[in-house]
Amino acid sequence: MAHGKETPRQKMIGMMYLVLTAMLALNVSVSVLDAFKIIDEGLEKTLKTIVNKNNEIYNEFSKAYALNQSKTAKWMEIAQQVQLRSDSLYNYVQRLKLNVLKEAEKTNAKVSIKGDSIFRDKIKSTTNYDTPGRLMIGNELTERSEATKLRKAIEDYRSYLLSLVPPINTKLRESISKGLDTDPPYSEKKIKKPEERTWEYHKFGHTPLMGFLAIMSSQQVNIRNAESEVINYLYSQISAGEVKFNELEAVVIPHSNYIIKGNEYQADIYLAARDTTQDPVIWIAEGVKEPWVEKTDENGNTYIDKRDGINYSQLEIEHGKGKGVFKRTGSSLGFRQWGGIIEITGPGGEAIRRPFSAEYQVAEGGVVVNPSKMNVFYTGVDNPVEISVAGVAPNKITAEATNGSLVPSAGNYIMRPKRPGNSLITVYAELDGRKRAVGSKEFRVKPVPDPYATIGGKKGGGINKNELIAQTGVAAVMPPDFEFDLTFTVTEFTVFSVVQGFVKQYTSKNNRFTEEQKNLINTLAKGAPIYIQDIKAVGPDGSIRPLSTINFRLN
């Protein structure tokens, strides 16, 4: 094409040939780069999946820490350091990726990059072979090349992760080493330039932009995957070496911390989690707050042992239940302390011992909760209540109530219920500096009963006309068996009768007869019926009650 002198036509044909060849080459390149794009997209999806799983593990660390800080703190702190170093290296790779892409895209970078997000379909310089190598390696590979710095950062990260995994865990160490491998690839071809035999040159020496992005995404996936493997290992160490139990139950559950003289104190003693396949050994000592001592063996390990000079008894064990039952009769008054050591066999055959202690009070019988006036509580009134505990000073006694408020008053209490139903009063006593529930009693709660209407103390029947007219009006009177001093006031009533075949009725808007009502009564003949009806009264709580009708016949 360039031999000898060429005519303009020959030059044109030659130029077209070059263009055609370049186009064919470009088609092949685009097809390969499309594959890189698909790979990079797949790596991004994989990355999101790994990150989500890692976040779940970190959340599990937080939950475990909330439940048991002392047990989890060490491993959670290491996991947090792993997270920080993983994020740092991941972000470093992301910065390199974006820097190379911005340099290759130039003005188009505003379209293909938004923050840390890359829009692959918007990238125009996908066939750029120059920029990745130029920015990552430079004219020659040196210690200052970005590729070299990246390799060292990966190696430091790999060494840190391996330092957290013991040599015995060969599979995990091998997985971390392979995932973060920075060794140069093996090749049977003789490569003249030494730098071309390096990891850096292999990754970035002759890499198009789209391939570079896929390589960097692959490194990020490797970082997150290694992070995932290590934090899963760390989380497993929280419960490593634990004794496995097949049932869960509380530690020391006394049936009551306060017993009455002559009655029996009883408490169950067992581990929070128990193994019913082996019976524990339980030693008991009474009258001592902490009947154990902590010792250290020749290897620096601490363990629990019996205290010298203390008499221990071995508690009888309920076979197959993994617990013992401690029982004592409260034969004398006073405060009691007791405790001991429970022992089981660990997974390695070693003895595992845990101390425990408890206390109880033996007192004379009697928690008294006595309503002063009635055996029920009424809404809308102050219900006086007397509360006492035998052997306990009044200032050491407190009480609480459901469905209402219980207010101290002159050495006793006033109960103010909220609504009809039931109310439970629970009494507490301060015993040896601790507040303890010592008894409770349930009461019915009723509304205040309706009063009944009277005129001159009469609820009906025969009455002299002059006697009726002499009365001022209608009164509301509480039933005689109601113990509270409670007053209802009549707010209105109607006087009703029949005069010469016509119904006459007049209403008063208070508790007094009106002039019209008195005149009506005056017009009635002897033997005439008269009705006091539609009577309404209001109580202290503001509720309006309808009262029964008063029926009179004039004498």
Helix axes 209-236, 146-163, angle to 10 degrees: 10
Which helix or strand (DSSP H or E) is residue 254 part of? Answer: strand 252-254
The overall pTM is greater than 0.85: no
Site of tokens 């959340």: 59
Q: Is the pLDDT of residue 19 over 50?
A: no
Q: What is residue 22's three-state secondary structure?
A: helix
Site of tokens 């601490």: 302
Question: With bands split at pLDDT 50, 70 and 90, how would you rate the model's confidence at 18?
Answer: very low
Closest to 275 (Cα-Cα) out of 357, 352, 356? 352
SS3 content of the chain, % helix, strand, coil (to 5): 35, 30, 30
The predicted model gives 359-386 an average pLDDT of 74
The whole-angstrom separation of Cα 204 and Cα 471 is: 115
DSSP for residue 172: H
Helix axes 146-163, 170-179, angle to 10 degrees: 170
| Token representation of residue 377 | 């509580």
Site of tokens 């290296």: 89
Give long-range contacts, CB 8 A cutoff, 24+ apart: 180-183.
Answer: 180/154, 180/155, 180/222, 180/223, 180/226, 182/151, 182/154, 182/155, 182/158
If you average pLDDT over each of 105-119, 141-155, 330-344, 369-383, which comes out highest?
141-155
Tell me the longest C-alpha to C-alpha distance in the chain.
156
All domains of the chain, ordered by start, with CATH? 20-236 (no CATH), 247-363 (2.60.40), 367-446 (2.60.40.1080), 452-554 (2.60.40)
The whole-angstrom separation of Cα 210 and Cα 37 is: 6
- pLDDT digit string, tens, across residues 74-90: 999 999 999 999 999 99
The whole-angstrom separation of Cα 196 and Cα 498 is: 126
- pLDDT digit string, tens, across residues 43-52: 888 889 999 9
For 286, residues 6+ apart whose C-beta sits below 8 A from its C-beta are 328, 336, 337, 338
The whole-angstrom separation of Cα 337 and Cα 287 is: 5
Distance of CA 254 to the CA centre of its chain: 27
The whole-angstrom separation of Cα 32 and Cα 389 is: 90
Distance of CA 317 to the CA centre of its chain: 36
- pLDDT digit string, tens, across residues 219-241: 999 999 999 999 999 998 887 65
Question: With bands split at pLDDT 50, 70 and 90, how would you rate the model's confidence at 22?
Answer: very low
The confidence score (pLDDT) of residue 382 equals 87
Burial of residue 144, with CB atoms counted within 10 A of its CB: 0-12 exposed, 13-18 middle, 19 or more buried: exposed
Q: Is the pLDDT of residue 509 over 90?
A: yes
